[in-house]
Every structure is written in C-alpha cells, then in structure tokens.
Amino acid sequence: MAPRPFSDKSYSPYWQNRKAFLGQWRRGGANAVVDAPVDCNGQALRHFFKGGSGFAFSAGAAQHVCYPVIGLLYFLVGKGIPIAIIENAVKKRLQQGAIAASFNISRLRTVEIPQIAKACGFHWVFVDLEHSTMDLDLAGQICAASLPTGITSIVRVPEGDVTRATRVLDAGAQGVIFPHVDTAEEARAFVSACRFPPSGTRSLIYGGPQLEYETLPPDDVMAGLNAETLLVMMIETPKALENVAEIAAVDGVDILLVGGSDLSATMGIAGQFQNPDFVDAIGKVIAAAQGAGKWPGLGGIYDEAIMAGFLDAGMRFVLGGADLSFILAGGKSRGAFFNNHKLP
C-alpha cells in the first residue's frame, strides 16, 4: 500500500493542509496566521518543531507557534510520507536515474563508517553479515548512525535469514539484501517477512530510528516504512538466471543484484567478466529488472574499465568496493613512495 498523498483529506490530520499553509506563508510573510484543522492537542506540530516564533496556527481555540521554516518543510515533504520517516536517499537516486554506489564494510568496526563513506563520495553502506564476523548489534548501530548522514545502510544477511533481516530493519537499516535467490517463491517469502501488512507479515514497530523516535499512527508507520525500505534479491546461479523474469515480477522486490563472483563461478567461467556468456547473463538480468519496473544491480566487479561498460548498459545499484581494498590501495601507494624515494 503506497502512502497517501498529503492532499488526501482522509489522511492523518497530522499532515493535512500543506497547501493551505504554504499559501498563507507566501502571502502573509513572517507573521502569517494559518487557520488549519490540525488536531487541537498539538500533536501535529510536535512532529515538526519544538517551539519558537514566527507563524501562528489556530485549531479551534488552540494556538500554536512554530519556526518560519515550517512552511518550506511542508512544501518539501509533500511526497506522501510523514516528515518523521527518514527518506531512503538511495531509492531517491535510483528514481532519478542516477548511480548508487556502496562503501562495503569488510574489516572496519565503527559507527563512523557512514560519515567516512559520505566523505569519500559513496551513496550507501553495504553491511555484510554473510561474509564477515560482524555481530547484529554492531550492524544495527552502524545502520542507525547512518540515518542522519543521508547515507543509506543496506544489510546483506546470510542465506534465507529472515530473522536477522527483520531485526536489522528494526534497528535502522533501510534495506536488506538476500543472497542466492533462485526462485520467485523464495523472493515472495523474503518480501513477506520484510514488508508490513497488507504487503507482508512484518511485526509492527514504534518509535524506531527511521521514525526519528516519534510515535506515529500505525497505518502511517507501515505505509511509510514499506515505501522507504529497499528489498534486494541476488542473482548468483544459472537457476536464478532461468527464473530471473519471475523473480523480478514479484511485488515488493525492488532490485535484482548480480553477484558477479558467484554467478561467473557457477557458470563455470569464474572471474571471466568479459566472457560473452557472462555479458549475456548481465544483459538478461538488466532486461528482466527494467521490464518489471525494478532496478538492476551489480556486485563483485571492481575493475573500473569493465564496470563502466555494465553501467552504460543499465546497471545502477552497484557495490563500489570494500574498506580493506581501499586501505590496501592507499597504504601500498604511500609505502611505495617511501621505499622508492631516493635520498640525496
């Protein structure tokens, strides 16, 4: 169920009358008075501000005062979700047709990772619980720490592990990657576990980090988080290739991610990323994803010359490289400088 637009008068009174407010704000300037039927106990306003001066709102006999910037906020967030639900920046990039590249966590174990990723120019953090010893608690802390930075944290869970998947989503992840998805039936089960009703069976949460610790109406929580959560199915075997169109067609799947290393290995051409058979397989995944209105993705290929061709072919959601490889590349370069420098 998609979140209802703000203009829908059946929507929660917390989010009504954006247009009326903006019109008053434009016309009335710094002291505009808005007579909008927000709820009289002030809960609507509590989600947006903590006091101040500038605009006066009236709701019956109740008077509320807020920051002038609230008019702009109402305008900017009129996208169908409450402002308290943090936007998935990677989903927005993909909707705009842009590349979304990850900073992969391999060895680092710190909540500073999202800030480091942002400083490097990456768009999301790939938290890998399939091929690392990272525990669930630290993964959750990294996900929560990413939310204020605008860097999206997406977690790869071990094969078929819906329990870890839902727990990291509760902790602050904005997406989950499921490896080794071979059939549409598997994809449907993973979607059901990670989507709230009516799209799935995920247990309802209240006041978590993606909600900025606010208590919102249950329908708003479920619709908003369903909209801001990315579910990624990895295509890593010939069987998955055979079923890729059916997997892509599953409602609630957002991205098909090719695991380049495993797919090439199971095809009998390990690491041969320019082999015509592998290139054809990539094309088949791109076509299936785009044909179903989903986004195609690619991981395991880090040669920039090869990667560029797949990006041009339509790949948009990509694994950008791991912390260890970046450390080794930078460290080796600096080490070579010292070892090769000729003293006078």
Shared domain for 206 and 235, answered yes or no, is yes
Shared domain for 49 and 136, answered yes or no, is no
Question: What are the tokens at 4?
Answer: 């209802």
Asked whether residue 344 is assigned to any structural domain, the reply reads: no
Cα angle 29, 34, 38; round to 5:
145
pLDDT (average), residues 238-258: 98
Residue 5: pLDDT band (50, 70, 90) is very low
Q: Which of 53, 76, 99 is the last residue of a domain?
A: 76
Asked whether residue 329 is assigned to any structural domain, the reply reads: no
pLDDT (average), residues 154-175: 97
Shared domain for 212 and 266, answered yes or no, is yes
Asked whether residue 1 is assigned to any structural domain, the reply reads: no
Instruction: Note the pLDDT of residue 59.
Output: 38
pLDDT digits (tens, 9 = 90+) for 95-105: 999 999 999 99
Instruction: Note the pLDDT of residue 9.
Output: 32
- Coil, strand, or helix at residue 219? helix
Asked whether residue 81 is assigned to any structural domain, the reply reads: no
pLDDT (average), residues 180-193: 98
**Enclosing domain of residue 165:** 89-322
The average confidence (pLDDT) of the chain is 83
Shared domain for 239 and 128, answered yes or no, is yes
Asked whether residue 246 is assigned to any structural domain, the reply reads: yes
Shared domain for 130 and 216, answered yes or no, is yes
Q: What is the CATH number of the domain that holds 264?
A: 3.20.20.60
Q: Which of 76, 97, 116 is the last residue of a domain?
A: 76
Shared domain for 213 and 258, answered yes or no, is yes
258: nearest Cα among 303, 312, 173, 317: 317
Residue 128: pLDDT band (50, 70, 90) is very high
Shared domain for 35 and 110, answered yes or no, is no
Q: Looking at the predicted structure, is the pLDDT value of residue 18 above 50?
A: no
Those residues with Cβ within 8 angstroms of residue 261's Cβ, 6 or more apart along the chain or in another chain: 270, 271, 299, 300
Shared domain for 21 and 107, answered yes or no, is no
Asked whether residue 332 is assigned to any structural domain, the reply reads: no
Q: Which of 47, 64, 123, 131 is an active site residue? A: 131
Among this protein's residues, is 131 annotated catalytic? yes
Instruction: Note the pLDDT of residue 110.
Output: 96
Asked whether residue 343 is assigned to any structural domain, the reply reads: no
Instruction: Note the pLDDT of residue 206.
Output: 82
Question: What's the structural domain count of the chain?
Answer: 2
Q: Looking at the predicted structure, is the pLDDT value of residue 63 above 70?
A: no
Asked whether residue 175 is assigned to any structural domain, the reply reads: yes
Shared domain for 291 and 144, answered yes or no, is yes
* CA atoms of 171 and 173, how far apart (whole Å): 6
Q: Looking at the predicted structure, is the pLDDT value of residue 148 above 90?
A: yes
Residue 83: pLDDT band (50, 70, 90) is low
Shared domain for 48 and 175, answered yes or no, is no
Shared domain for 39 and 115, answered yes or no, is no
Those residues with Cβ within 8 angstroms of residue 85's Cβ, 6 or more apart along the chain or in another chain: 210, 211, 212, 216, 220, 221, 224, 225, 228
Shared domain for 123 and 238, answered yes or no, is yes
Lowest mean pLDDT among 21-30, 233-242, 290-299: 21-30
What is the layout of strands, in order, in the sheet containing 55-59? 33-35, 55-59, 62-66
